[in-house]
Structures are given as structure tokens and as C-alpha cells.
Amino acid sequence: MKNGSYDLKLISVNRFNVVAGALLLLVIVFQLFSYFTEPKIAYIQAEKVFGEFKLKKDLERDLEKSNAVQKKILDSMKLNLQMAYENVSRKKEQKLIMEYKIQEQQYFLKEKQSNDVYAETAEQYTAQIWKQLNQYIQEYGDQHGYDYIYGLKSEGELMYGKKSHDITEEVLKVVNEKYNNEEK
């Protein structure tokens, strides 16, 4: 009987070793799987990429050229308005006063229209820039195997990132190269 209980203990110990070994193997496999399937994550400084994107600079220059033309027109209208005011001040004729008021209304209307067009165009350009940037960054992420690329903003959702995960300069170089190649 002693020999039978010894055999039973040996079988229990062997089962325990097999179960423990299987659990240990399962844990090791899970750890390896977790290690190799960990997502590839990086971030970019979104404001820097946006600010230094060549498309943004090109559209900004176009917008400023257009605004300079409108400013010249407004400056000319303002000069005419000032001269009309001086004329009204000297002569005080009803007809001149009415003409002055009409010119003044035209000036303010033109100024408002110019400001509205500027704001609307700036908004359209911003949307166009972000659309292009998002496309380029998505392509970059796909080509380089990233699961996530976060945009770091001063008021954004990602408030910190290790410098080793910052791919801003690399992405900035690639998006500007892509834009330059498409521009030609």
C-alpha cells in the first residue's frame, strides 16, 4: 500500500508539473505575442508641420497678394472719400453732402466685402491645407508601418510625448517633398 500511495503522489506531482509547465508556456507565448503585436505609435508637432508646410506658405502668399490688391482699391476709395469730405467741409452744399454719404457707404461696403472674402478664402485654404496634410500623413503612416500618429498641439489631446517618438521633422520633409513633386 505504501508503494501505491507513493505512485499516486508521483502522478499528482507529475500532473502538477505538466499543468504548471503548460501555464508557463502559455504565459510566455502570450507575452511574445503581445510584444510582437504592440502598435507602432508616434506623434508630430501638428502646428509646426502645418506652419512649415510649403502648400500653406504658397497659399498664404497668394492670399496676401490678393489682399494687397484689395487694399490698394480701398486706399484709393479712402483717399477719394477724404477729398470729398474736405470739399463738403468747405462748401457745405446738400448735393455734395449726399454724394459724400454715398461714397462713404460704398467704401464701408467694399471694406466689409473685402474682409469677408479674405476670411472665407483663408478658411478655405486652411481646410485645403489640412486635407492635403492628412492625406500625406496617412500615406506616410501606411508606408512606415505606423498604427497611430498623433498630432501634438499646445491645446490638444496629447499633452506629452517622448522625444524618441517625435517624427515631426521626418514627416515635414516628406510632406513638402510630396507637395513639391505634385507641383511640378
Residue-wise over 75-88: b if at least 16 C-beta within 10 A, else e? eebeeebeebeeeb
10-residue mean pLDDT profile of the chain (184 residues): values are: 54 68 79 73 90 96 96 95 90 89 95 96 96 92 87 67 85 92 81
Of 179, 140, 167, 150, give the one whose Cα is nearest residue 57: 179
Residues 127 and 137 in one domain: yes
The β-bridge partners of 166 are 43
Do residues 1 and 74 both lie within one domain?
no
| Whether residue 31 is found in the same domain as residue 51 | no
Residues 131 and 165 in one domain: yes
Domain shared by 97 and 113, yes or no: yes
Please name the amino acid found at residue 30: F
Crossing angle for the helix pair 168-183 and 54-91, nearest 10 degrees? Answer: 70
* Amino acid 8: pLDDT: 52
CATH number, domain containing residue 98: 3.30.910.20
* Number of Cβ atoms within 10 Å of the Cβ of 126: 13
pLDDT given for residue 1 in this prediction: 47
Question: Are 99 and 173 part of one and the same domain?
Answer: yes
Position 7 scores a pLDDT of: 55
Measured between its terminal Cα atoms, the distance across the chain in Å is: 93
Same domain, yes or no, for 105 and 21? no
Contact by Cβ (8 Å): 70, 118: yes
- Does this model's pTM top 0.85? My answer is no
Residues 4 and 66 in one domain: no
- Please indicate, yes or no, whether residues 95 and 18 belong to a single structural domain of this protein: no
Do 87 and 168 lie in one domain? The reply is yes
**What confidence score (pLDDT) does residue 124 get?**
97
Residues 103, 121, single domain; the answer is: yes
Same domain, 31 and 62: no
How many domains does the chain contain in total? Answer: 2
- Give the pLDDT score at 38: 79
Q: Please tell me the predicted confidence (pLDDT) of residue 53.
A: 96
Domain encompassing residue 15: 1-38
